[in-house]
Chains A and B, each alone.
Chain A
Amino acid sequence: KQEVTQIPAALSVPEGENLVLNCSFTDSAIYNLQWFRQDPGKGLTSLLLIQSSQREQTSGRLNASLDKSSGRSTLYIAASQPGDSATYLCAVRRSRDDKIIFGKGTRLHILP
Chain B
Amino acid sequence: DTEVTQTPKHLVMGMTNKKSLKCEQHMGHRAMYWYKQKAKKPPELMFVYSYEKLSINESVPSRFSPECPNSSLLNLHLHALQPEDSALYLCASSQAGTGIYEQYFGPGTRLTVT
Give me the interface of A with B, judged by CB distance under 8 Å.
Answer: 31-32, 34, 36, 41-46, 49, 51, 89, 91, 93-95, 97-100, 102-105
Contacts and interface: CB of A to CB of B under 8 A. Distances in A.
A9 to B, nearest CB: 10
A43 B103 contact: no
A32 B100 contact: yes
Interface residues of B, number: 24
Nearest to A42: B107
B104 interface: yes
A31 B90 contact: no
Given A100-B45, A103-B42, A104-B42, A43 B100 contact: no
B98 interface: yes
A32 B106 contact: no
A45 B92 CA distance: 11
Given A31-B100, A32-B100, A93-B99, A46 B105 contact: yes
Contacts of B45: 99-100
26 contacts: A31-B98, A36-B105, A41-B88, A42-B107, A43-B4, A43-B6, A43-B106, A43-B108, A44-B43, A44-B90, A46-B102, A46-B103, A51-B100, A89-B43, A93-B100, A94-B99, A95-B99, A97-B56, A98-B98, A98-B99, A100-B45, A100-B99, A102-B43, A102-B44, A104-B41, A105-B42
